[in-house]
Amino acid sequence: MAKEQKTNAMRFLEKCKISYTVQTYECDEFIDGIHTAEKLGQPLEETFKTLVAHGKSGAYYCFQLPVAEELDLKKAAKSVGEKSVELIAVKDITKITGYVRGGCTPIGMKKQFMTVVHNTAENMELFYISGGKIGVQIRLSPAELVAAIKGKFEDIVL
């Protein structure tokens, strides 16, 4: 049996003593989070994507929301105390986060950015997020994640 390759996200969770499970899938090319959730049989409302934005101040932020939802930039900006935020360009994801599109997660990045998780996750026992590379999903407690990264829950979708 091949040894499971740990991602930075998994190492971070282990360091914080947060329990998680991993789901892997074959992926020639990343399409989107909805496709991933459907491929793995995960409920869309429990499968979250990570979007990275920068504010007027120049600071970067992570926003986690259900894969089928759209980020409300005004609500997102308000949640982090910015006048406005704008999503970063796909070409800049790796340079800013250390992750690739489809594998971006708010944990184990080059630098920990302020993270806001959509408030629907606040009452969930477990949810799915990217595991830090394409083809890897992690299932864990949203409350434990938010506590470990000093994030918060807020309404950030349209």
pLDDT value of position 68:
95
pLDDT value of position 58:
95
pLDDT at 2 over 80: no
pLDDT at 153 over 90: yes
Dump pLDDT digits (tens) for 22-64. Answer: 998 887 666 788 888 988 899 999 999 999 999 999 999 999 9
pLDDT value of position 1:
43
HEC assignment per residue over the chain = CCCCCCCHHHHHHHHCCCCEEEEECCCCCCCCHHHHHHHHCCCHHHEEEEEEEEECCCCEEEEEEECCCCECHHHHHHHCCCCCEEECCHHHHHHHHCCCCCCCCCCCCCCCCEEEEEHHHHHCCCEEEECCCCCEEEEECHHHHHHHCCCEEECCEC
pLDDT value of position 3:
54
pLDDT at 140 over 80: yes
Domain ranges of the chain: 8-154
- CATH fold of 8-154, please? YbaK protein (3.90.960)
Dump pLDDT digits (tens) for 86-113. Answer: 999 999 999 999 998 888 999 988 899 9
